Structure 1
């Protein structure tokens, strides 16, 4: 009778049998499990929509996930105390996680839409003009409060759409801006690779930048403001924080 094959996990496109963990040191087990977890799950603050009126994050990518539950697949191959220690550490970093997987078909369609329209400022102005036209409508009572809520959402969406479309269109359409973004973005500066991978990395850099930009929350001004400045040389108004607080888009 043939022995049953061990289940596998995938780390950086490589399948690893769970039985391999039995021969690892505790440190190696911890490091490898952590790498697997962070490749598959992320803090929702990274790119999950947040809606305070709905009670918090809207887990459109999947979740919320608990580190203890997700690491249970290593049970029987890794000592329980090692799994519990890593689960505790991850839970201290983030109590609830979301899936790090992204729907590539949707992103490709979305990117094509962005790059096909370089009149993003006109689109923004049109959106704001429509909001002002609706505000002029004679609506009273409870319907008025509901209308204001819808318009509030429309304004936030218009701002986010403009900031994302303008940046993505400009950077991906110009090699000089693409290089400036890669060289000056701190998250890309931390990346390392072997010299033998240099041509592969060069060929895939535009796709990597695309994936990164599409994953951003464009109302997170603490992150977006430095990106605009470092890459495009665009400085935001010093008093922008006051307006963003009014819109509940965040603070600088």
Structure 2
């Protein structure tokens, strides 16, 4: 009897990713790439980099307020070992261990979680105003960082201040890139279409026609819910991952090719975990090089990138939405 129950449970076991459910027993029919991608999505849906958690040195470091620390090997093998070949699970474990060895639990992404992003998910602005808030916030953050770079400090402590500022500079960049991307979806309906057409997250979504054609108001309501769901999903992307997240998103959605001459940014992103998790040391135990010159070069490159993105997005705004009331003909 116990064997029958165990077989039944194994056959009907499911995992959830967002609002979708997958039968684990059906994974054997998927391609190897699809197996890896589904496991990756499941992991990031449930576990988060501790860098986003509160930190308290007196309390032992990162505060795992949503559970943890968790380890990729334990979580992935514990969930998928009965359904996916060990070598594929180990491949993803190695990838995740390169990012971090310990993970925290994700917050409950219910409505209260997304309320803090309400001005981005449900903007009241149009045209150029959609781009103004993210840029203003970025400039304010970078202004504080520039001021802190020049704070007089003892040489033996300067290294730690500059390391913190390097991490904060990357955070300011990724916040801007995420906020302005999400806000700009409102510029034209074709951009939401472009995103959905190229996103693997939504290619397998199904929709009943009856939900569209009950009434005109139902159509509008359904479109609004789709847009809300898309934006909430974008909030959770890893926006410091330029190569795999930011570059393809901007290209596929807005047709914007980000500049290639941003080497210092890639270097700083790769060092982000060295500062946050290894106190400024590489995996080999070597000190990460840091100086005011390096920070200032990074700031300059990120400002160039942000200026390029801002200019490129403004060029996509219809001329009618660029019209400034201050330029209006006074009538004489």
TM-score (norm 1): 0.64
Q: What corresponds to 2:118 in structure 1?
A: 112
User: How much has 1:169 moved relative to structure 2?
Assistant: 1.2
Q: What corresponds to 1:191 in structure 2?
A: 204
Q: What corresponds to 1:31 in structure 2?
A: 26
Seen in structure 2, the aligned counterparts of structure 1 residues 191 and 121 have a Cα distance that, compared at 3 Å, is same
Q: What corresponds to 2:109 in structure 1?
A: 103
Within 1, Cα distance between the matches of 2:186 and 2:65?
26
CA contact (8 A) 1:42 1:100 kept: no
Q: What corresponds to 1:78 in structure 2?
A: none
CA contact (8 A) 1:127 1:158 kept: yes
CA contact (8 A) 1:47 1:216 kept: no
User: How much has 1:239 moved relative to structure 2?
Assistant: 1.2
Q: What corresponds to 2:196 in structure 1?
A: 182
CA contact (8 A) 1:171 1:178 kept: yes
CA contact (8 A) 1:39 1:100 kept: no
Within 1, Cα distance between the matches of 2:249 and 2:20?
33
The root-mean-square deviation of aligned C-alpha atoms, in Å, is 4.5
CA contact (8 A) 2:47 2:106 kept: no
More deviation, 95-104/115-124: 95-104
User: How much has 1:111 moved relative to structure 2?
Assistant: 2.1
CA contact (8 A) 1:180 1:231 kept: yes
Seen in structure 2, the aligned counterparts of structure 1 residues 108 and 136 have a Cα distance that, compared at 3 Å, is same
CA contact (8 A) 1:42 1:98 kept: no
> Could you tell me which of 49, 70, 75 is aligned with 1:66?
75
Within 1, Cα distance between the matches of 2:145 and 2:228?
35
CA contact (8 A) 2:135 2:176 kept: yes
Deviations 1:94-132 (A, max 9, x none): 337986885223442132143568421122122112111
More deviation, 157-166/190-199: 190-199
Q: Where does structure 1 lack aligned partners over 5 or more consecutive residues?
A: 1-5, 16-27, 72-82
> Are 1:248 and 2:269 an aligned pair?
yes
Deviations 1:136-178 (A, max 9, x none): 1111233212211221121011001000010011115643322
Q: What corresponds to 1:234 in structure 2?
A: 256
User: How much has 1:202 moved relative to structure 2?
Assistant: 4.9
> Could you tell me which of 145, 148, 159 is aligned with 2:162?
148
More deviation, 187-196/165-174: 187-196
Counterparts of 1:136-175 in structure 2, within 5 Å, are 136-172=150-186, 174-175=188-189
Within 1, Cα distance between the matches of 2:266 and 2:252?
24
Seen in structure 2, the aligned counterparts of structure 1 residues 178 and 225 have a Cα distance that, compared at 3 Å, is same
Seen in structure 2, the aligned counterparts of structure 1 residues 90 and 9 have a Cα distance that, compared at 3 Å, is same
Say which SS state the counterpart of residue 151 (structure 1) adopts: helix
TM-score (norm 2): 0.50
More deviation, 171-180/142-151: 171-180
User: How much has 1:192 moved relative to structure 2?
Assistant: 4.7
Q: In the comparison of the two structures, how many residue pairs are matched?
A: 216
Q: What corresponds to 1:217 in structure 2?
A: 238
Within 2, Cα distance between the matches of 1:29 and 1:249?
34
Deviations 1:62-116 (A, max 9, x none): 5334234346xxxxxxxxxxx6453736623533798688522344213214356
